[in-house]
A = this chain, B = another copy of it.
Amino acid sequence: MKIKVAIAGARGRMGTTAIEAIEEAADAEVVAALDYKYDGLHLHNASVNDGKLGIPIYTSLSTLFEEHHPAVLLDVTDPDAVFHNVKEALALGIHPVVGTSGLTNEELQEIAQLVESTRTGGIIAPNFSIGAVLMMKFAAQAARYLGDVEILEMHHDRKLDSPSGTAVKTAEMIKENRPPHIQGHPEEQIHLQGARGADVEGMKIHSIRLPGLLAHQQVLLGGEGELLTIRHDSFDRKSFMPGIMMAVRKVIGRNDLIYGLENIID
Contacts and interface: CB of A to CB of B under 8 A. Distances in A.
A131 B194 contact: no
A1 interface: no
A250 interface: no
Contact of A50 (B42, B145, B222, B224): B42
B47 A41 contact: no
Interface in A176-221: 183-185, 187-200, 204-214, 220-221
Nearest to A190: B162
B205 A192 contact: yes
Q: Which of A131, A142, A208, A212 has the most CB of B within 10 A?
A: A212
Interface string A141-165: 1100110111010100111111100
Interface string A164-176: 0000100000000
A230 B227 contact: no
A188 to B, nearest CB: 6
A192 B211 contact: no
A191 B197 CA distance: 12
Interface stretch (A65-73, A81-89, A234-242): A234-242
Contacts of A264: none
A195 B206 contact: yes
Interface residues of A, number: 89
A191 B25 CA distance: 38
A205 to B, nearest CB: 6
Contacts of A184: 157, 209
B163 A191 contact: yes
A188 B208 contact: no
Contacts of A255: none
A119 interface: no
Nearest to A212: B222
B230 A213 contact: no
Interface of A: 11, 16, 38, 41-45, 47-50, 54, 57, 129-132, 134-135, 138, 141-142, 145-146, 148-150, 152, 154, 157-163, 168, 183-185, 187-200, 204-214, 220-242
Lowest 8 A-B CB distances belong to which pairs? A210-B222, A225-B236, A225-B239, A225-B238, A226-B239, A192-B198, A195-B198, A212-B222
21 contacts: A44-B47, A149-B210, A159-B185, A160-B187, A162-B188, A163-B195, A168-B192, A183-B209, A195-B207, A197-B207, A204-B209, A208-B220, A212-B222, A212-B226, A213-B235, A224-B236, A224-B242, A225-B240, A226-B239, A228-B231, A230-B230
